[in-house]
A and B are shown apart, each in its own frame.
Chain A
């Protein structure tokens, strides 16, 4: 067993500069949860399929369980903690809460971040297919997706 190498991560998490000395092998997800206080990042599968750990890296959705914290150097990370500081984030929260687009809530942050990215970036019009493709990258075990699709459509209609 080799002694663990450490490295300095220099990144910004939800707009706040972060510099930390970490094991080179620590995943971005563990770094965000344990070093940056972002407990909205949930680990469902730890192999990049379920989507619960989705965060935005320079605005693009990525699976934080598949990346190393070291790879965040020079990039800006946004989690649900950051998104909820925005008006759009608050609208997403409202839509999810009113549509009951979650039950246990473990997958929800991932859905919210991918939807945030869609709503921020997609050219008009956002089609039902766009919504399905965005949500299709995430696994929810509780809702059967129907209420999440309804929340997404409501957010699309509110985008204006």
Chain B
């Protein structure tokens, strides 16, 4: 297969050729109006009145859209929740978080639109607000959506195995509360939309940096009260990062479609950074109460978990994915057969939540992996030993988890051992925590984490949000599918159309490499059409770039298409050469006969004949140059009556070790070494895969130590700039980063590949937290929440150390 070295970055080349096209660069329609969004300064308030007259009087202002028209022209967005609020793209009579859209101004340019925005008078009646998830569940809490009489949108109880039995038989049972913070991955490019409403056809066209899942377009169509076929969404070739955050673009697509309808002309809106931080989307913050049952020898027996998700002011699709996406891998990589989960989605007066790199798994594994460290300590064992003891063994794979997941491939102990070796873990253990030299200026710690990394989400998992009796029997949502279209042109060139809308994952480079390898041609001879256009390319509701699905699902559809083209070329050559396809091979741009060295045709000749001689071709070759390859992930199922479901197409594995140093005077935390070992099946492009591992590390590190979207108790937003929301720079990255992988191809994908994009983002917050816990445990400090900042450590440690000499 590997005739050619992995090619350099196609996407990067375009950038340095000055051909990049991001949404802000586009003017696809004439006569664009520019929008600015009026937003709520209150976390919770009734809107008494909106007076846009001053804005409308400004030269250059076209019109103003308010909640009145939004209510008239659209419906609330659909979401899978028992008690959702009525979520429109714009506040109607009440605002429920700081930054919530209240009106949209359209003007000749953005400067004028923003001037006008500041003149719109909105009269508010402030209401008490609630921002913490546990507070919002109290009977006395302010209610966001009065008609619901509660802030709890979902309250599901899931039971697997015999939890009561293992808890009563356990040698040790303990409980702990953990808090995973609210942060977003901060794509450097903000949201951007150009929307055009066609009144006579009730049709909306969008150019937007939206990248799926395209199931969200069904939600959008429902809100706009049009059939899906009346939406066209074009994603430009270049999208400046998302990490899941741009999945939640669709409410703004609705808002801008309605703005265009009001203005009767196309509208362009590019979000600014304050809007992005306060009102786009964020990862879900979660409080978990976890109970662990184990034997004294370290054997894990069962878990009870109460998951309390803060989904913000409105539960918004694809939430409650944060609760249910990892259902098949709820037990992580451990052989645990007994689990009880109480899954709660709670609405509070903060920005609605959504997918963020490592969606759901970050939140889910943090309490499990922290608790395993605690268990090990309680038993006087090393955390690595307890993990190795409980990992699912390679001979058990394929392994069916008690929650319904099918772990398809992997060797978790081997990957874990590799991480321990590469990090020199056992030796480090002798010199961290209490064992560190007391005269050093730092406290030192080492910590680890392991994680199952699910990729290629099964649409069906979301229905676990409903009791089996409440599921819709007439719509069984199951699967993950993708189609790739390939054309062979008359000169032998190959063009590939993706339906994924990538945002930095190098999918064009990888697609060309895959097709070139399959056909035995140079990657440079393969042209990949980037971006996406629902008006002209094949797609389905599961299309898009999300849930790390490209390697297993998306790329497998490319393989499927390329193999069919290969077969067609052989069939065509057999016809032209009067030979049989099974005796022909493609080698270095030629089709050659295994039986006669003289017999052969160049690919170019075959391509030319397929195009220029169409009138003479037999029926089976008439469409030989136009291929659609579809890949449908197998083994995916619909949740059964026991709430079991194989929630993802494939499951990768990650084992990480972090080493930290904490300055004894400043409490500054530095990650000095980070070792990450992946079991992700075949690696499709080594440099791109490494880029994903290291990029995931950056996001995990950010969540562990720096980034947090913070609110006051009354819901005022505190982190609206990069001076308050601290994104790591090169200086904050670990000095020593080691990435490695073991390769056990998955049988579930034609590529043999599993996901690589989210894995380290899931493990890094935990490995770092465990390392910090190791460093400071001997000082009596427990680590139960993130991010770990110098001031938080000081608040706990400083008091303890007061009166003692510095540098102890």
Q: Does any Cβ of A come within 8 Å of B148's Cβ?
A: no
The residue on B at minimum CB distance from A3 is B59
Contacts of B239 in A (CB 8 A): 104
Query: A1-B119, A100-B687, A104-B187 in contact; A146/B272 too (CB < 8 A)?
Result: no
Contact A141 B18 (CB under 8 A): no
**Which listed residue, A106, A144, A147, touches B241 by the CB 8 Å rule?**
A106
- Cα A107 to Cα B695 in complex, Å, equals 14
Contacts of A136 in B (CB 8 A): 729-731
Contact A138 B729 (CB under 8 A): yes
Contact A142 B8 (CB under 8 A): no
Q: Does any Cβ of A come within 8 Å of B127's Cβ?
A: no
**Which listed residue, B8, B13, B22, B697, touches A42 by the CB 8 Å rule?**
B22
Identify which of B8, B15, B18, B185 gathers the most chain A CB atoms within 10 Å of its CB. Answer: B15
Contacts of B505 in A (CB 8 A): 103
Q: Does any Cβ of A come within 8 Å of B115's Cβ?
A: yes
Interface size in chain B (residues, C-beta < 8 A): 54
Identify which of A4, A100, A137, A144 gathers the most chain B CB atoms within 10 Å of its CB. Answer: A144
B641: min CB distance to chain A, Å? 43
Contacts of B638 in A (CB 8 A): none
- Cα A135 to Cα B733 in complex, Å, equals 12
Contact B241 A142 (CB under 8 A): yes
- Cα A146 to Cα B735 in complex, Å, equals 10
Number of A-B residue pairs, CB cutoff 8 Å, is 165
Q: Does any Cβ of B come within 8 Å of A148's Cβ?
A: yes
Q: How large is the interface on A (under 10, 10 to 19, 20 to 34, 35 or more residues)?
A: 35 or more
Contact A143 B241 (CB under 8 A): no
- Chain A contact residues: helix, strand, loop or mixed: loop
Contact A106 B22 (CB under 8 A): yes
B734: min CB distance to chain A, Å? 9
Contact B11 A105 (CB under 8 A): yes
Q: Does any Cβ of A come within 8 Å of B684's Cβ?
A: no
Q: Does any Cβ of A come within 8 Å of B493's Cβ?
A: no
Interface residues in A34-89 by Cβ distance below 8 A to B read 39-40, 42-47, 49-50, 52, 80-81, 84
Q: Does any Cβ of B come within 8 Å of A98's Cβ?
A: yes
Contacts of B503 in A (CB 8 A): 104
Q: Does any Cβ of A come within 8 Å of B50's Cβ?
A: no
Q: Does any Cβ of B come within 8 Å of A32's Cβ?
A: no
Q: Does any Cβ of A come within 8 Å of B326's Cβ?
A: no
The residue on A at minimum CB distance from B685 is A100
Contact B187 A97 (CB under 8 A): no
Contacts of B187 in A (CB 8 A): 104, 106, 141
- Cα A132 to Cα B190 in complex, Å, equals 26
- Cα A80 to Cα B18 in complex, Å, equals 8
Stretch at the interface among B70-78, B165-173, B449-457, B720-728: B720-728
Q: Does any Cβ of A come within 8 Å of B9's Cβ?
A: yes
Contact B189 A104 (CB under 8 A): yes
Interface residues of B (CB under 8 A from A): 8-9, 11-13, 15-18, 20, 22, 24-25, 58, 111, 115, 119, 185-190, 238-241, 243, 270, 272-273, 503-506, 687-688, 690-691, 694-699, 721-723, 727, 729-731, 733, 737
14 further contact pairs, Cβ within 8 A, besides A42-B24, A47-B722, A104-B241: A25-B111, A39-B22, A42-B189, A44-B188, A47-B273, A50-B188, A100-B506, A101-B12, A105-B20, A139-B188, A141-B186, A143-B698, A144-B733, A146-B733
